Amino acid sequence: MEQDRPVKQVLVVRKDLNMRKGKIAAQAAHASLKVFLDRKLRTPLSDEIFSFSLTEPMELWLKGSFTKVCLYVKSEDELEAVHKKALKAGIPTVMIVDSGKTEFHGALTKTVVAIGPDYCDKIDPITEGLKLF
C-alpha cells in the first residue's frame, strides 16, 4: 500500500438550493457513506451476508486520517459535470438524489456528490477551482 501518498474524500454541495444546515449535513453524510455501501458484495451463500470490495485508497483512508473536504457548486449542471469527471477518472463517486420529503416540495433533487476516498493527486484535478463550502 502507498501509505505516503495522501488520500481524501471530497463532498461537493449544491449551494444554489439554499438547504438548511442540518439538511446539508445529512446529505453530505449520506454521500460519504454511500460510496462504501455501493461497494457491497453479496456472498453466494446468502443475500444477507456481504463483504466490501474496497480500493487501496479507501482502505488507507479508513485506517488513516479520514480527511474530508467540503466544496460547493452553484448549479445542478456543475454538480453533474464534477460527478462525470470523477466517473471518467475511475474514482469511487456517488450522486445523492434527495426524495423531496422535507425540502424541495416533493421533487427529486440532486444535492451532493461524494468523490473518493482516493489519492489526492487523482481528485485534485477534478475539483480544482471549486471553493470551500
Grid cell locating 106: 416533493
- pLDDT tens string 53-82: 899 999 999 998 899 999 999 999 999 999
The CATH number of the domain covering residues in 7-132: 3.40.1490.10
Domain boundary assignment for the chain: 7-132
Mean pLDDT of the chain: 92
pLDDT in tens, 24-34: 999 999 999 99
Q: Which pLDDT band, with edges at 50, 70 and 90, does 45 fall under?
A: low
- Using an 8 Å Cβ cutoff, are 14 and 79 in contact? yes
Our CA angle for 20, 26, 27, nearest 5°, is 90
Mean pLDDT of 78-104: 95
Backbone angles phi, psi at 74, to 5 degrees: -105, 5
**Residue 104: its pLDDT value, please?**
86
Name the pTM for this structure. Answer: 0.91
Element (H, E) at 24: helix 21-37
- The C-alpha cell at 10 is 471530497
Q: Is the dihedral of CA 14, 19, 21, 25 positive or negative?
A: negative
Q: E strands, the chain, where?
A: 7-14, 40-42, 50-52, 68-73, 93-98, 109-119, 131-132
How buried is residue 87: exposed, middle or buried, by Cβ count under 10 Å (0-12/13-18/19+)? middle
Cα torsion through 79, 83, 84, 89, rounded to 10: 140
